[in-house]
A and B are shown apart, each in its own frame.
Chain A
Amino acid sequence: MNAPGKAGRLRSLRWRLVAAVGAGVLLTWLLTGWSSYTMARHEAKELMDGSLAQTGHLLLAMMQGEGDALADLATRLELVRGAVDNIYEPPLEFQLGRGDGSILARSADAPELPILGRAGYSDIIRHAESWRVLNIISVDDRYRVQVSQPISLRDRAALEVASQTVLPLLVIVPVLILLIYLSVRGGLRPLDRLASQVAARTPDNLGPLSENGVPTEARPLVNSINRLFSRVRDALENERRFTADAAHEMRTPVAALKVQTQVARLSTETAMRDKALRQIESGVDRAGHLLEQLLRLARLDPVVSLETTQSVALGRLLREVLEEVLLVHPGARREISVAPAADAAAVLGDPELLRIAVRNLLDNALRYTRDGDTLRIAVEQAGETISVAVHDSGPGVPESQLGKLCERFWRGREDGGRPAAQRAVGGKEGSGLGLAIVARVAELHGARLQLENAPAGGFIARIDGLAAAL
């Protein structure tokens, strides 16, 4: 696999998590260092102020005991001066004096300051160095002690404390970041597995993804993908079945054509040959009709909604379609009536599709009725919806088969030994797709195809719920 580029890394959940958590850890580390430095400095200041005060009072007490032999004391104090670099035992800098300001003794490095200041702490700068100075005055105002300490000393102390807190983290932080990286990678591994599962899918293999080991957060994703898979699977299955059915349905007409052609070739009698030729012609018509209906369905199937709709005058459409249908069924003797209400009605829709739907309904009605039967085309308007119905006085359809009428390639046929109630008259079977097409057209118009036996006998096919054009 290719190493992820920079853009890839920015989008990678793993890198983003590692970067964010790593930055957080670093920031925390810096904040910890800074705050422990400030706190240590504060503590150091208080501690050292305390030790200044203690030293100062000690010196004062010693001074009062020594009387005037202070030079001697100063010499002795030289021995306890401490070391410049040792923050725990810093050099003792002091000036001892009288109440009038005269200095009696002092340490060598003590800042040369007048000793007459106010009692208490003060910060001063002397020779480019900052000092913390404490003046102490004896109760009787005869003696004065001034002790001092360089401020840099306390800073160093604070720094030392702070770095003892922070420096170990210098080792810990990289280890921490490595651990974060490893756990993020481990935590995201289920996602990698999921991705490779999805990547391995093909149209032949659309079974649901396993939810085993899928983290809770990814479960909605898996569920959505599985729902999508299931829909795609259904669609593919439908398509597969339809193609198989269609191919299967074409075989019988083609077989009939082939056999009739061979009969025409083999027959020696003119009458027989003529009959075979006529049969071939009708077979070609039938195969053509089947093909046309198949193409129609194939075109309608992927359509989700009508692109353009217009106002369609029903009266004219019904009469025109009726004329066309009667041309295909020459010699059909049916009593046909179109409801007068049709002339006033107009629906919103696709005129070509509506025409196909009505043609299929009328064609069916003619196919499954006999001479002398009546056909009534009714149009009813209820508020803003219009229904178009074709009533016929034919034998109707057994209730058990009503549900199958819209199935593709289902044809009206004999049922379980009973005489065919709705067998196509005169052997003119349809494509088995007509009502499926009508149902699809109705659906696209927001309407429904309803099929029922009329209580008084006969059969009603109704497209219900067409939108009336205003």
Chain B
Amino acid sequence: MKILLVEDDELLGDGIRAGLVLAAFAVDWMRDGHTALRALTDHAYDACILDLGLPGQDGLVVLRKLRGRGKATPVLVLTARDTREDKIAGLDSGADDYLTKPFNLDELMARLRALIRRAKGVVSPVIEHGGIRLDPVSRQVTLDGAPVTLSGREYALLLDFLSHPGHIRSRAQLEESLYAWGEEAGSNTVEVYIHHLRKKLGADVVRTLRGRGYQLGGGSP
């Protein structure tokens, strides 16, 4: 799951990024409206955390332009402005959720997960596929009822496959989902993580389609 964080405050941005990384999200962090809008237009993010008081271009302007370009990326607005008018303006500009500073990191994560879930049309937070059961809240994964321990990246990769059942995911798409900008993915790291997943969850958990990419395999969803 890849998140775009738009926050100009160094300390707050750094904290949120660290929190997101701890929750196994891949995070790109932008500090102003212009670059944020460019990144949101050019890349696929699962969600965006957008601060409103931004230098250069106000968060609401970014949001309106984004929606104007037909982008439906779920956006969680973060702001110090908490009057009802501000909230209405934020939601009317296309925000999917609204969080007032100061906030709880856990709440931010929960809202983010709910946002992503809704965007993908999933009702229950727990994803089940074959014998695999993934709970995004506790980040617990079980196979036929037995807990399976996954590293952060392995978990993120599994979540990506489970969130796109039936899709063929190219290596580039998977890398973009797993890594933030500036994080260099090794030449075969995706293969390494897929190998790990197969070892822990069974060989047919991921199907390899030569020359095209990978697909969630096994079981009926």
Interface residues, chain A, CB within 8 Å of chain B?
A: 248-249, 251-260, 262-263, 266-267, 272, 275-276, 279, 282-283, 286, 413-417, 420, 427, 429
Contact = CB atoms under 8 A, between A and B. Distances in A.
A413 B80 contact: no
Interface string B1-45: 000000011111011101100100000000010100000000000
B103 A255 contact: yes
A242 to B, nearest CB: 15
Interface residues of B, number: 26
Contact of A248 (B19, B55, B80, B104): B80
B185 interface: no
B104 A262 contact: yes
Contacts of B81: 248
B56 A256 contact: no
A330 B193 CA distance: 45
Contacts of A283: 11
B12 A259 contact: yes
B49 to A, nearest CB: 11
Nearest to A417: B34
B14 A417 contact: no
A263 B18 contact: yes
Contacts of B105: 258-259, 262-263, 266
A255 B12 contact: yes
A278 to B, nearest CB: 10
A259 B19 contact: yes
A252 B56 contact: no
A270 B206 CA distance: 34
Contacts of B121: none
B86 to A, nearest CB: 11
A253 B8 CA distance: 12
Interface string B47-86: 0000001011100000000000000000000001100000
A264 to B, nearest CB: 9
Select the residue from B14, B53, B81 with max chain A CB neighbours within 10 A.
B14
Nearest to A258: B102
A259 B106 CA distance: 9
Interface of B: 8-12, 14-16, 18-19, 22, 32, 34, 53, 55-57, 80-81, 100-106
A413 B53 CA distance: 12
A259 B56 contact: no
B53 to A, nearest CB: 8
Contact of B11 (A266, A279, A413, A420): A279
A262 B56 contact: no
Given A263-B18, A429-B10, 12 more contacts: A249-B80, A252-B9, A252-B53, A253-B11, A255-B12, A259-B16, A260-B11, A262-B19, A263-B19, A266-B19, A266-B22, A415-B56
A258 B103 contact: yes
22 contacts: A251-B80, A252-B101, A253-B9, A254-B102, A255-B102, A258-B104, A259-B12, A259-B102, A260-B14, A260-B15, A262-B15, A263-B15, A263-B18, A263-B19, A266-B22, A272-B22, A275-B18, A282-B11, A283-B11, A414-B56, A420-B55, A429-B10
B19 to A, nearest CB: 5
Contacts of A420: 55
Contacts of B9: 252-253, 256
A417 B61 CA distance: 14
B115 to A, nearest CB: 18
B90 to A, nearest CB: 15
A262 B16 CA distance: 10
Given A252-B12, A259-B16, A259-B19, A414 B101 contact: no
Given A248-B80, A251-B101, A416-B56, A263 B22 contact: yes
Contacts of B8: 413
A416 B16 CA distance: 25
Given A260-B11, A276-B18, A254 B101 contact: yes
A452 B113 CA distance: 49
Most central of A248, A251, A283 by chain B CB within 10 Å = A251
Contacts of B34: 417
Nearest to B34: A417
A94 B16 CA distance: 135
Contact of A414 (B22, B55, B103): B55
